[in-house]
């Protein structure tokens, strides 16, 4: 039975079993079940057909994305469509492990924008009295929510996407290529196109680890992580190990070993300095 032949309830059950390694009870009469099935089956896609995404559809998806909630109606998120092929190549030159950025019919960069609010304060003769870390976070969270809204809208339209946080590895190049002024900063990129492959559902940590009631609880955390390592390895093992020269080849290489190696060295340590140059004190 293929996806189109399965009921939405069966699709959710299968997706959640793959994602979390546990059985879910899904009522077929659940309101919105078709949309829930699509969300449960989400996957990042890195291979695209050459078919273009029409300008009208792209504009509609941006409108849907920017319909997202925004902190205090401040509207501190922007979307930049990197349509210039040469500009995109210059960005990707700093991200050699992500050639799919060039292959995607559409590449977007989602930005936090505190600049407009500062302009508005000046125009209306009011002081800007929120020079602290929270006003940076508000803009970053707004941009993240808008990007997720775009992903949801794109998938509803039959498109696939892949977020690219690695653009912050080339923060100065991205900022220069996109001509970002003070008060505007990139949060993540997004590849968009019609899928050329179905991709896979990425297993996640069990809900017993990430969903809490009344208080934070990490009871049996290590046990859960160890079990997740095994389940993920059985479902979708890593193709290669990180930093073998530094740490050697692990006999068993699971998610926790990969993430421990990833964060064993500084990553984007210059981002705070960049954000300060963009006019955020972070105090």
Q: How many domains does the chain have?
A: 3
My answer on whether 227 and 150 are in the same domain is no
DSSP 165: G
- The answer to the question of residue 279 being in a domain is no
- The answer to the question of residue 283 being in a domain is no
Do 16 and 133 touch, CB atoms closer than 8 A? Answer: no
Average pLDDT over residues 23-28: 91
Do 112 and 143 touch, CB atoms closer than 8 A? Answer: yes
Please report the pLDDT score of residue 2 as a whole number. Answer: 54
- For the cut 50, the answer to whether the pLDDT of residue 77 exceeds it is yes
Phi/psi at 258 (5° precision): -65, -45
In this prediction, residue 5 has a pLDDT band, given cuts at 50, 70 and 90, of confident
Pairing of strands 77-81, 106-113: antiparallel
Average pLDDT over residues 162-186: 96
Please report the pLDDT score of residue 4 as a whole number. Answer: 59
My answer on whether 61 and 192 are in the same domain is yes
Cα–Cα distance list, 117 to 161, 272, 277 (Å):
30, 21, 18
Residue listed under structure tokens 């892949």: 162
Give the domain-ending residue among 151, 171, 198: 198
My answer on whether 179 and 73 are in the same domain is yes
- For the cut 70, the answer to whether the pLDDT of residue 260 exceeds it is yes
Average pLDDT over residues 261-279: 94
d(CA 254, CA 226): 9
Q: What is the CATH number of the domain that holds 95?
A: 3.40.109.10
Pairing of strands 77-81, 184-193: unpaired
Please report the pLDDT score of residue 96 as a whole number. Answer: 86
Give the domain-ending residue among 142, 168, 198: 198
- How many residues in the chain? 283
- The answer to the question of residue 14 being in a domain is yes
Q: 73: Cβ–Cβ under 8 A, 6 or more apart, which residues?
A: none
* 201 C-beta neighbours (distance < 10 Å), count: 18
d(CA 125, CA 82): 35
Cα end-to-end span (Å), the chain: 56
In this prediction, residue 136 has a pLDDT band, given cuts at 50, 70 and 90, of very high
My answer on whether 181 and 229 are in the same domain is no
Q: In this predicted structure, which of 29-33, 93-97, 103-107, 120-124 has the lowest mean pLDDT?
A: 93-97
Beta-strand runs (E) in the chain: 77-81, 106-113, 160-164, 184-193
Average pLDDT over residues 36-58: 96
Average pLDDT over residues 24-35: 94
The overall average pLDDT reported for the chain is 95
My answer on whether 17 and 75 are in the same domain is no
Domain enclosing residue 16, as ranges? 3-40
My answer on whether 101 and 133 are in the same domain is yes
d(CA 9, CA 146): 28
- For the cut 80, the answer to whether the pLDDT of residue 240 exceeds it is yes
Please report the pLDDT score of residue 1 as a whole number. Answer: 42
């Amino acid at each position: 039975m293929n996806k189109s032949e399965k009921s939405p309830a069966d699709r959710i059950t299968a997706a959640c079993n793959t994602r979390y390694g546990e059985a879910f009870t899904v009522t077929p009469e659940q309101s919105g079940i078709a949309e829930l099935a699509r969300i449960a089956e989400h996957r990042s896609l890195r291979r695209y057909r050459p078919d273009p995404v029409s300008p009208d559809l792209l504009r509609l998806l941006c409108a849907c994305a920017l319909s997202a909630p925004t902190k205090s109606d401040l509207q501190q998120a922007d979307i930049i469509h990197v349509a210039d092929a040469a500009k995109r190549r210059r960005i990707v030159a700093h991200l050699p492990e992500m050639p799919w950025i060039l292959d995607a019919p559409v590449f977007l960069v989602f930005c936090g924008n505190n600049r407009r609010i500062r302009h508005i304060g000046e125009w209306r003769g009011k002081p800007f009295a929120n020079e602290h870390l929270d006003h940076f976070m508000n803009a970053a969270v707004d941009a993240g929510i808008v990007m997720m809204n775009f992903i949801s809208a794109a998938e509803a339209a039959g498109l696939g996407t892949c977020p690219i946080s690695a653009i912050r590895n080339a923060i100065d190049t991205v900022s220069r290529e996109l001509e970002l002024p003070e008060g505007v900063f990139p949060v993540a990129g997004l590849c968009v196109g019609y899928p050329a492959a179905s991709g896979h559902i990425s297993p996640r940590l069990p809900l017993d680890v990430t969903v809490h009631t009344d208080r934070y609880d990490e009871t049996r955390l290590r046990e859960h992580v160890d079990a997740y390592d095994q389940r993920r390895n059985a479902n979708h093992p890593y193709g290669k190990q990180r930093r073998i020269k530094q740490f050697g080849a692990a006999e068993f290489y699971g998610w926790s070993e990969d993430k421990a190696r990833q964060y064993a060295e500084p990553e984007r340590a210059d981002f705070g300095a960049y954000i300060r140059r963009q006019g955020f004190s972070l105090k």
